[in-house]
Amino acid sequence: MGEGLKKWIKAFKALGDESRLKMLACIANAKKKELCVCELEALLKLSQPTVSRHLRILEEADFLESRRQGQWVIYTLKKNKISSIFLKLIDEISKEDELKDLIEKARKINLRD
């Protein structure tokens, strides 16, 4: 199997988890299109190790990139072929009734100021 195909398989596997889909939807809909680990913990009510593990999987699947800002690690959607193709899917997922409250909270959350 070629490297190109492996990349797509990794991307689809990364999307196969409810928490990771919610993370992508939250980041895509956040006010600044970025969230830190602690904001995702608060939004999803998950532990820091769990959030970090899911973020690592999304980063390895080429959906996210991170940068350090003081004590924070900030995650944003990566601007590449894979993310741009799946962004439409993420937009549609964000419209689901069960995510409306979560998306609204993601638009308002700011624990870094």
pLDDT bracket for residue 92 (50, 70, 90): confident
Kindly list the structural domains of the chain, giving each domain's residue range(s) and its CATH number in brackets, ordered by start. 3-108 (1.10.10.10)
In the DSSP assignment, the letter for residue 42 is H
Under 8 Å between Cβ of 42 and 15: no
Q: What are phi and psi of 66, to 5 degrees?
A: -130, 155
Record the pTM: 0.89
pLDDT tens-digit profile of 20-59? 999 999 999 999 999 999 999 999 999 999 999 999 999 9
- Alpha carbons 22 and 33: distance in angstroms, whole number: 14
Radius of gyration of the chain (CA): 14
The whole-number average pLDDT for the span 63-71 is: 93
Burial class (CB in 10 A: 0-12, 13-18, 19+), 80: exposed
Q: How high is the pLDDT of residue 89?
A: 83
CB-based contacts of 105: which residues, under 8 Å, 6+ apart?
43
